[in-house]
Amino acid sequence: MRIGFFGKGGSGKTTLSALTALFLDEKDYRTAVLDVDVNSQTANLLPVKAQKPELSNKQSVEDIWRYLAGDNLRVKSDEFLNTTPPGYASGQWRLAPDNYLTRRYGRPFGKFSHSFTLGSYKSEGIGTACHHSTQSVAENMISHSFLDTKDCLITDSVAGNDAFGTTLFLHDLLVFVIKPEREGVDVFTRFMSLAAAAGIEDRVVVLGNQTQFSIQRDFIKNAIDPSRLIGCLSLSESMVAARLADQPVSLEQLDEQSKETFYKLGKHIEKAQHDPCYLHTRLVELHRQVTRESWVAGSYRTGMEDQIDEEYIPGC
């Protein structure tokens, strides 16, 4: 299962990504949390047991691309676009601890799980760097991920609607996190418009967050279609205290109503269909579009549609 967390900046998607990972780990899911936000903080909220390199380091990017290129002769390790699709001979990212990428870049936590951090801007990129180009290596890991039945890949995505300018909207389940504020509703309305245009609106659910008062919960319930709204969560004093003390979050810090909301989210995750064939088909469509852009020929070469392995059909 691939789950993406989306929402306006400051809505709490990082916290909910971390809590969802802890919840699924307790339910014996093997979970990976991939933090692609420019302000990478997810690992700080989890009880990680080791420090590992950031994915956006130059050496990390080159290493990951070499691994994902594998023996696929259609793809050179220095010619990865964010849409470059896998083929039969490509390297695969698996969540098992003996997989090269998981072992090299995953920070263990819980019983079975790992956290991966993309990282933010570097000093040498001041004034010139673009986060989209940085996050492409994370997009490549997602598209080259191979998930077993009780594997769950959680993406703490970029803020707002920026995901629709990338491949990050290609998830089995998209969880939109919304605070009780007009601005968040406006961002969600636009998000759903883009999701409808992309044909994925049936994959979107909503979590209300930071709802301390009944008037806030009522605001969200009135603003969001009840068939999409899983529930509302409150920010507990014990969780605030833990974060101020630089301690990880935990499910025990939640009140009973918030815990119940996570159980409901778990039901949605169980029902959602992991469809690698559909996701790959959409990725190939995007790759065909991207390779026609003038900047691709200028930065790489013309004819990069030849990266597509027409015979590769994952999970079908």
Predicted confidence pLDDT, tens digits, the chain (316 residues): 999 999 998 888 999 999 999 999 999 999 999 999 867 778 888 999 888 999 999 999 999 999 999 999 999 999 999 999 999 999 999 999 999 999 999 999 999 999 999 986 555 554 544 445 578 999 999 999 999 989 999 999 987 888 999 999 999 999 999 999 999 999 999 999 999 999 999 999 999 999 989 999 999 999 999 999 999 999 888 888 988 898 999 999 999 999 999 999 999 998 887 888 999 999 999 999 999 998 888 888 888 999 999 999 886 5
- Helix and strand counts by DSSP (H, E) for the chain: 11, 10
Q: Can you give the pLDDT at residue 120?
A: 65
Of the candidates 270, 277, 171, the residue with the CA atom closest to the CA atom of residue 230: 270
Q: Can you give the pLDDT at residue 129?
A: 45
Q: Say what the pTM is.
A: 0.93
Count of residues making up the chain? 316
Domains of the chain from N-terminus onward:
2-307 (3.40.50.300)
Kindly list the distances between the CA atom of residue 252 and the CA atoms of 14, 23, 238, 258, 307, in Å, as whole numbers in the listed order: 17, 10, 9, 10, 47
Break the chain down into helix, strand, coil percent, rounded to 5: 45, 15, 40
Of the candidates 154, 114, 125, the residue with the CA atom closest to the CA atom of residue 56: 125
Q: Can you give the pLDDT at residue 126?
A: 45
